[in-house]
Amino acid sequence: MSFHFTGIDHVQLAAPEGCEPEARSFFTGLLGWMEVPKPASLMKRGGVWFQCGMHQIHIGVQKDFIPAKKAHPAFHVRNIDALKEYILQKGIPVIEDDTRPNEGVKRFFLTDPFGNRLEFLEWL
């Protein structure tokens, strides 16, 4: 083949109209991700973009929004126990993963402010 994939550029999560302030509060305020300026041609669509390590998370506005309860991005974390403790101290519930305890990975789930499922994991 004359082509090859080099990875994921971004993941898009959907959210309702007017989501931007709450998205900023969660992804920048809570998680510490930097906001990425959207191209001018896409500003009118609403939504907001964030940088997570080498990848971007795009929060896009969707009419008749329904959160993704099963499909989800998974974010690799160093020192996941500290992240989980921090999240819990902020009053955000986490969903423990005890379904695969001997695979050499720690993980937990939570939902973003819009009900989308997010996974955080650390390979041991």
Number of structural domains in the chain: 1
pLDDT of residue 1 exceeding 90, the answer is no
pTM above 0.85, yes or no: yes
Residue 1 lies in a domain: no
Residue 3 lies in a domain: no
pLDDT tier, 23 (very low <50, low <70, confident <90, very high otherwise): very high
Which residues have CB under 8 Å from 58's CB, separation 6+? 10, 11, 12, 13, 47, 48, 49, 50
CB 74 within 8 A of CB 120: yes
Question: 3-state class of 25 per DSSP?
Answer: helix
What integer pLDDT is reported at residue 101 of this predicted model? 64
Q: What is the CATH number of the domain that holds 88?
A: 3.10.180.10
- Residue 103 structural domain: 10-123
Residue 5 lies in a domain: no
The mean pLDDT value of the chain amounts to 94
